[in-house]
């Protein structure tokens, strides 16, 4: 992650859209909250959000991120993220 942070990426292969979803799945499986936040911050950098892919992959990423937060974070933090990420 250290090499990737702060960089912007463009999709060059159809499978590139699997990166963020797979990375977040690894974070959840390892219960690595810090890495989850780092992956999310990489997503937020520049136009990296375009690598989320179609809607079903986007929802998979955010579902995994919220799942990780629910497992590892205090409820106040979870609710703050929930309000930010889940449309009303």
Minimal CA–CA distance to 64: which of 46, 43, 88? Answer: 43
Asked if 72 contacts 31 with a C-beta cutoff of 8 angstroms, the reply is yes
Q: The pTM is what?
A: 0.89
Question: Can you list the alpha helix ranges (DSSP code H) found in 4-74?
Answer: 19-30, 33-44, 55-72
Q: Show the tokens assigned to 69.
A: 């937060």
pLDDT tens digits in sequence order for the chain, 88 residues long: 888 888 888 888 888 888 899 999 999 999 999 999 999 999 999 889 989 988 888 999 999 999 999 999 999 999 999 999 988 6
Sorted by where each begins, the domain ranges of the chain are 14-85
* pLDDT of res. 1: 80
């Amino acid at each position: 992650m250290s090499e990737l942070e702060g960089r912007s990426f463009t999709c060059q292969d159809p499978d590139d859209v699997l990166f963020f979803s797979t990375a977040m799945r690894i974070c959840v499986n390892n219960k690595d909250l810090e890495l989850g936040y780092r992956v999310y911050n990489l997503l937020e950098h520049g136009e990296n959000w375009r690598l989320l892919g179609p809607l079903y992959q986007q929802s998979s990423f955010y579902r995994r991120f919220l799942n990780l937060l629910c497992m590892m974070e205090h409820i106040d933090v979870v609710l703050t993220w929930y309000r930010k990420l889940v449309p009303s």
